Amino acid sequence: MDRACPEALQEIIETFHDAAPEERLDMLLEYALNMPDLPTELLSARDTMEQVHECQTPVFLLAHLHDGKVLYYIDVPREAPTVRGFAGILYEGLNGATPEAIAATPNDLYQQLGLHKVLSPLRLRGLTALLSRMKRNARALGAAHGNYPRHTGGGN
């Protein structure tokens, strides 16, 4: 059986793929503007969130499983629009998906979005780390709740 990434993320990938390269950065910035801020109760509880240290920008992540779906909270400063934009894509594309679908998200997502043509390798490394962390959290949540087999190594 072929595993596929969440449908919402697949639609985003197709939209970016169909866009001209010069439009992709503007699209990324739109996701930055549209990404929701943290709920008020999490603003004072950032110590309960996981920091993605590989990002140059302070990025914090929290994941919960609710009714078999992963819900994410991501905090990225508005002063870091490219990182916030990628986080916005992940938020829109992965939030509310099953752990299995999130785990099936391609590791080269930034390439499928064409972002490797508009962002620096250092920035891309941080974005890849955020995606890897989200996939790892989804697998762990699914395994802890019996919805997904425990990860046995290899890949992200």
Per-residue pLDDT for 105 more than 90?
yes
Q: In whole angstroms, how far apart are CA 151 and each of 6, 48, 135, 139, 155?
A: 19, 24, 11, 7, 10
Cα 75 to chain center, whole Å? Answer: 12
What pLDDT sits at residue 4? 78
Structural domains of the chain sorted by starting position, each given as residue range(s) with its CATH number in brackets: 7-143 (3.90.1010.10)
What was the pLDDT predicted at 148?
53
Residues 55-61, mean pLDDT to the nearest whole number: 92
Q: Is the predicted pLDDT of residue 151 greater than 70, yes or no?
A: no
pTM: 0.88
Confidence of residue 64 (pLDDT cuts 50, 70, 90): very high
H/E segment holding residue 51: strand 50-51
108-147 pLDDT tens trace: 999 999 998 888 888 889 899 999 999 999 999 999 877 5
